[in-house]
Amino acid sequence: MGLLSIIRKIKKKEKEMRILMVGLDNSGKTTIVLKMNGEDTSVISPTLGFNIKTISYQKYTLNIWDVGGQKTIRSYWRNYFEQTDGLVWVVDSSDLRRLDDCKMELDNLLKEERLAGSSLLILANKQDIQGALTPDEIGKVLNLETMDKSRHWKIVGCSAYTGEGLLEGFDWLVQDIASRIYMLD
Amino acid sequence: MEDDDPIHGGSAIDQALQKKHHDMLERLSARHQTRKSDSPDSSSSSSSFESTSSFLARFADSKRFIESRIGELRLGSSSEDPSNIKSGLAEISSAIENLEKLVAANSYFLPSYEVRSSLKAVSDLKQSLDILSGELVPKKKFSFKSKSSSTKPESKLPEIHKPDFVSPLKVPVRDSPGFRNKHGETLVKSFRGSSIGEFTLSDLDSCEVKLTGTVNALFLHRLKNCKVYTGPVIGSVLIDDVEDCVLVLASHQIRIHCARKSDFYLRVRSRPIIEDSNGVRFAPYCLDYEGIEQDLKTAGLEEETKSWANVDDFLWLRAVQSPNWSVLPEEERLSPVSLSGDS
Ligand SMILES: Nc1nc2c(ncn2[C@@H]2O[C@H](COP(=O)(O)OP(=O)(O)OP(=O)(O)O)[C@@H](O)[C@H]2O)c(=O)[nH]1
Ligand SMILES: [Mg+2]
């Protein structure tokens, strides 16, 4: 057994989960993380690099990596793939013009071997905006039905402003990871 | 340090070297431990620092330690037995991860230049480790499957092409409300009393656009030689591809991509950012229309925080001022623009 299994063992003890948040710039990743952590979301700058938040969630510790989505920074995403238990892909449901960009980046990400074992939560964010696409519509645009059968995934509509949908999404993600990592000893 | 030849055979020498190497690792790690316990605020790997300089000192320290560990492992590798190599790699990998956490935990207060250069340094370390593990771990069937896949240092994204790579969007996506494909017109819209959430201006040439009232999100795409005046946007303004424009905007966030020779008059809460842009100049918001005070309040933008001048250029990696943007000299600024009567 190699490096990953060693690290996995350590993690197991600490009931730690590593969550990677990615998505196009402006999709609302940082706002979501701060909202989940009960912090003020009124002044958030575009993420230049990345942030990490450690959040206790149920009986687990989530290490949430929030990586900037600006074009310049996307090439750094791959630095964060290692040991990712859960992948959160955030979509700005009101940004109709860039949906094909969004699909292309997600498709590329899912081809990444190092992310093959991670659970995928897609957050169709900004549902509070009038005219935003519904999670169903986003799911169709992203062609989620054709996803690899071995992938655990779910799409949930949410709003980082109202908080609606966030718990539903993260509950699923944490349960799914837990059932893969911690229950299978 | 050691003058061992990394490529050599002979099991007796191996034994001796291995011992020596092992001892050195012990020493190094002991030194690292004491250093860690010496500094009061390093009890947790993700501790926050009060000042940039204490962060930088700690960062440089850990970085040097990791680099020397990578060097040691490479030098001694031919004599190590595989399980030592693996635990060595694992140790370095977790040291890098801690370093990364350190940067991440401090990135809220660090100046953007420091965040960027730390980010780059961590990414370089990861790359060295990837290369090292590629060199050290033989491509056997079972071990390091995921590691060996990441040993190509320069490849950006995986180059696997599935047939469905650019499958066309299956769902006809509806257009959002907006002004599109106009030339030489004056376009006026009031959001007051409407339920419009997002609004788009796209493919406009030589137009004057006046938007009053508040809206949740605003998208500007392909504008040439236009003047755009808008009331406060509650969420963000996303700008892509503008040239020779004057834009007067208020919003929580303003993101500018591919702008050329344009002036931005902004009221903004966070740092405005530019990417792939040049010849852009910034000044404070200067719009007036009946009811704007109330709209600014609704959007939480009644206060001028002077953030309009804190521009971040995502493509500019150095500590000195980016050549791509500047503050618009006062004598060249527009006098306050009033839209009264229009809306
Ligand atoms: N209306 C609305 N606006 C939102 C929501 N979530 C985020 N926003 C706004 O969208 C803009 C972008 O949010 P961020 O959290 O900075 O986006 P990000 O994905 O972290 O962006 P990068 O760091 O550049 O990758 C901000 O102006 C937010 O206020 C939401 O649920 N509803
Ligand atoms: Mg962000």
B265 within some domain: yes
**Residues B327, B182: one domain?**
yes
Q: Which residues of A touch B104 (CB under 8 A)?
A: 50-52, 65
pLDDT greater at residue A164 or residue B170: A164
pLDDT greater at residue A148 or residue B165: A148
Contact residues, B window 20-39, toward A, CB-based 8 Å cutoff: none
Q: Which atom of ligand 1 is nearest to the CA of A158?
A: 31
**Residues B199, B316: one domain?**
yes
Output the known binding site of A for Mg(2+): 30, 47
Residue nearest to atom 17 of ligand 1 (CA): A28
Ligand having the closest approach to the CA of A88: 1
Confidence category of residue B316, pLDDT binned at 50, 70, 90: confident
pLDDT tens by residue, A83-116: 899 999 999 999 999 999 999 999 999 999 999 9
> Where residue B208 sits, what CATH number does that domain have?
2.160.20.70
B150 within some domain: no
SS3 assignment, position A110: helix
Is B252 within 8 Å of A43 when comparing Cβ atoms? yes
**Residues B202, B332: one domain?**
yes
B158 within some domain: no
Q: Which domain, by its residues, includes B202?
A: 176-338
Last residue of a domain, one of B127, B145, B163: B145
Say how far apart CA B183 and CA B161 lie, in whole Å: 41
Average pLDDT, whole number, for chain A? 89
Q: What is the DSSP letter of B79?
A: G
- CB-based contact (8 Å) between A147 and chain B? no
B103 within some domain: yes
Say how far apart CA B71 and CA B77 lie, in whole Å: 10
Q: Give the helix ranges, DSSP H, for chain B.
A: 11-38, 52-76, 82-106, 112-136, 145-148, 292-298
Nearest C-alpha of chain A: how many angstroms from B216?
7
Pocket of ligand 1, beta carbon within 6 A? A 23, 25-31, 44, 46-47, 68-70, 90, 125-126, 128-129, 159-161; B 216, 235-236, 252-253
Say how far residue B264 (Cα) sits from the centre of its chain. 22
**Residues B265, B219: one domain?**
yes
Q: Which of B253, B266, B270 to mutate to test the pocket of ligand 1 (most atoms within 8 A of CB)?
A: B253
B92 within some domain: yes
Contacts of A62 (CB under 8 A, 6+ apart): A16, A17, A19, A53, A54, A55, A56, A174
Helix axis angle for B82-106 and B52-76, nearest 10°, is 170
Please give the share of chain B, as a percent, with pLDDT higher than 70: 71
- Which of A7-11, B1-5, B80-84, B258-262 bottoms out in mean pLDDT, i.e. has the lowest? B1-5
**Residues B200, B309: one domain?**
yes
Nearest-10 Cα torsion for A35, B275, A109, B164: 130
- Do B200 and B192 meet the contact criterion of CB atoms below 8 Å apart? no
Count Cα neighbours of B6 within 13 Å in the Cβ-side half-sphere.
10
**Residues B313, B220: one domain?**
yes
Torsion sign across C-alpha atoms B95, B97, B98, B102: positive
Catalytic residue among A58, A70, A83, A175: A70
The number of folded domains in chain B is 2
**Residues B246, B327: one domain?**
yes
B6 within some domain: no
Contacts of A108 (CB under 8 A, 6+ apart): B157, B158
**Residues B184, B330: one domain?**
yes
Supply B195's token pair: 């339920």
Say how far apart CA A95 and CA B236 lie, in whole Å: 11
- CB-based contact (8 Å) between B228 and chain A? no
**Residues B124, B241: one domain?**
no
Q: Which amino acid is at B127?
A: Q
pLDDT tens by residue, B133-150: 888 876 543 433 343 333
Q: Residue B266's beta-bridge partner residues?
A: B249, B284
**Residues B19, B89: one domain?**
yes
> Where residue B91 sits, what CATH number does that domain have?
1.20.58.1250
Torsion sign across C-alpha atoms B93, B97, B102, B108: positive
Q: Which amino acid is at B169?
A: L
**Residues B134, B181: one domain?**
no
